[in-house]
């Protein structure tokens, strides 16, 4: 299958990075290089683009699409390790970082990757196929209580307990192997009247994918380390597609403003608050109605931008 992925909020992301032609920029989730190509176009031969992705197939595609640019470095890794990645490259600070936290169209549409509840495939959901944890292991080994918690917290699914119970009941008879099996189990657990709200498996699949790829837990630390890795006036642009992600990014940005939390009766600051910069857009940038019509996956996208002091 061809690696197709239409970059979301492309113009806004590029403008948000405020690219300097001789600067150093990081695309922490390079994917099919949709955003990276536009970054590379704005860099001189003295500039540098670092493309990171945990998906080796995505890296292979991005290398091909950026083959005419000589000032690009590719790294198979996780943006959560950005501080160590830059250290290994001998780069202390950069001028901009872009993180697109969405799942690519290619990953969703490739049956064997197991991301889609619309197609039958192996229960996988790994963004990095070299890691060991898969969706199949989660649904077949996690205890009912933990499954319910994950589905409720990461999927915001109100029928999480019923779904977890149905999963555990089913796997007593046989192992859950495919996405279709899981979809059928979820559909059985959710009352028919509620299915009008959308596909019954959507929220549960999202929750399991987040657990497989550990997408939420390290995010606050990742945002903080990205901010610390910026040069003065460097920009961090983060695209989120889930309310939990957006709240985590917003909290990290707010904390980076360094607001003093000391009691009013304390004569001087003792909390150690340090202002690291400013938030460029108080409200998240969202896709226009036109973009949402052209690309349905842009509907939940939110872009937040932070500038280093």
Reported as a single tens digit per residue, the pLDDT across 203-223 is 999 999 999 999 899 999 999
Per-residue pLDDT band for 1 (boundaries 50, 70, 90) equals very low
> How far is C-alpha 151 from the chain's CA centre?
18
- Residue 139 in contact with residue 123, Cβ under 8 Å? yes
Burial label, 27 (beta-carbon count in 10 A; 0-12, 13-18, 19+) = buried
Residues 231/94, Cβ–Cβ less than 8 Å: yes
pLDDT in tens, 157-206: 999 999 999 999 999 999 999 999 999 999 999 876 555 567 889 899 99
Give the pLDDT score at 273: 77
Strand partners, 99: 238
pLDDT value at residue 142: 97
pTM: 0.86
Q: What percent of the chain has pLDDT over 70?
A: 93
Q: What is the mean pLDDT of residues 241-263?
A: 90
Q: What is the pLDDT of residue 267?
A: 76
The correct answer on CATH 1.10.150.170 for the domain covering 114-213 is yes
218 within 8 A of 81, measured Cβ to Cβ: no
**What is the per-residue pLDDT across 94-112, written as a single tens digit (0 to 9) for each?**
999 999 997 765 566 566 6
The CA distances from residue 42 to 23, 98, 258, 260, 280, in Å, are 10, 15, 32, 38, 21
The model's confidence at residue 265, banded by pLDDT at 50, 70 and 90, is confident
Provide the pLDDT for residue 293. Answer: 92
Say which residues have a Cβ less than 8 Å from residue 122's Cβ, sequence separation at least 6: 112, 114, 136, 177, 178, 179
pLDDT value for 269: 74
CATH number of 10-101+216-308: 3.40.50.150
* Confidence band of 248 (pLDDT split at 50, 70, 90): very high
For the chain, give every residue range classified as CATH 1.10.150.170.
114-213
Asked whether the predicted pLDDT for residue 260 surpasses 90, the reply is no
In what order do the strands lie in the sheet containing 48-53? 72-76, 48-53, 24-27, 94-100, 230-240, 302-308, 277-279
d(CA 238, CA 305): 7
Token match 């197991």: residue? 114
For residues 25 and 95, is the Cβ–Cβ distance under 8 A?
A: yes
Residue 122 near residue 76 (C-beta atoms within 8 A): no
At 177 the three-state DSSP class reads coil
Range(s) within the chain of domains with CATH label 3.40.50.150: 10-101+216-308
Nearest to 234 by CA among 10, 9, 20, 15: 20
Per-residue b/e over 87-118, b at no fewer than 16 CB within 10 Å? eeeeeeebbbbbbbbbbbbbbbbbbebbbbbe
Measured distance CA(79)–CA(76) in Å, rounded: 10
For the chain, percent of residues with pLDDT exceeding 90: 76
pLDDT greater than 80 at residue 4? no
- Which range has the worst mean pLDDT, 114-118, 164-168, 257-261? 114-118
pLDDT value of position 104: 61
Chain centre distance of CA 178:
24
| The pLDDT value given to residue 186 | 94
Mean pLDDT score, 232-236: 98
Contacts of 303 (CB under 8 A, 6+ apart): 9, 12, 13, 16, 237, 238, 239, 281, 284, 285, 286
pLDDT value at residue 189: 92
Q: Count of CB atoms within 10 A of residue 282's CB? A: 6
pLDDT score at 5:
64
């Amino acid at each position: 299958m061809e690696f197709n992925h239409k970059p979301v909020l492309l113009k806004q992301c590029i403008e948000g990075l405020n690219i300097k032609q001789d600067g150093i920029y990081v695309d922490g989730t390079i994917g099919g290089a949709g955003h990276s190509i536009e970054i590379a176009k704005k860099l001189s031969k003295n500039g540098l683009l670092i493309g990171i992705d945990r998906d080796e197939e995505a890296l292979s595609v991005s290398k091909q699409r950026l083959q005419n640019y000589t000032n690009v470095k590719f790294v198979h890794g996780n943006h959560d390790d950005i501080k160590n990645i830059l250290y290994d490259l001998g780069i202390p600070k950069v001028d901009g970082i872009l993180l697109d936290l969405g799942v690519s169209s290619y990953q969703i549409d490739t049956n064997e990757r197991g991301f889609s509840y619309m197609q039958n495939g192996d229960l996988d959901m790994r963004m990095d196929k070299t890691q060991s944890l898969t969706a199949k292991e989660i649904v077949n080994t996690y205890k009912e209580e933990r499954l319910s918690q994950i589905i409720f917290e990461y999927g915001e699914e109100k029928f999480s307990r019923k779904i977890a119970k149905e999963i555990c009941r089913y796997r007593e008879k046989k192992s859950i192997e495919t996405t279709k099996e899981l979809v059928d189990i979820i559909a059985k657990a959710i009352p028919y009247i509620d299915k009008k709200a959308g596909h019954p498996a959507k929220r549960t699949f999202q929750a399991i994918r987040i657990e497989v790829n550990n997408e939420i837990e390290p995010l606050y630390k990742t945002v903080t380390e990205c901010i610390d890795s910026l040069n003065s006036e460097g920009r961090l642009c983060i695209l989120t597609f889930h309310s939990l992600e957006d709240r985590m990014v917003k909290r990290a940005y707010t904390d980076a403003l360094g607001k003093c939390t000391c009691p009013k009766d304390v004569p001087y600051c003792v909390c150690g608050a340090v202002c690291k910069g400013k938030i460029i857009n108080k409200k998240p940038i969202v896709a226009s109605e036109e973009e949402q019509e052209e690309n349905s996956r842009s509907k939940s996208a939110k872009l937040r931008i932070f500038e280093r002091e």
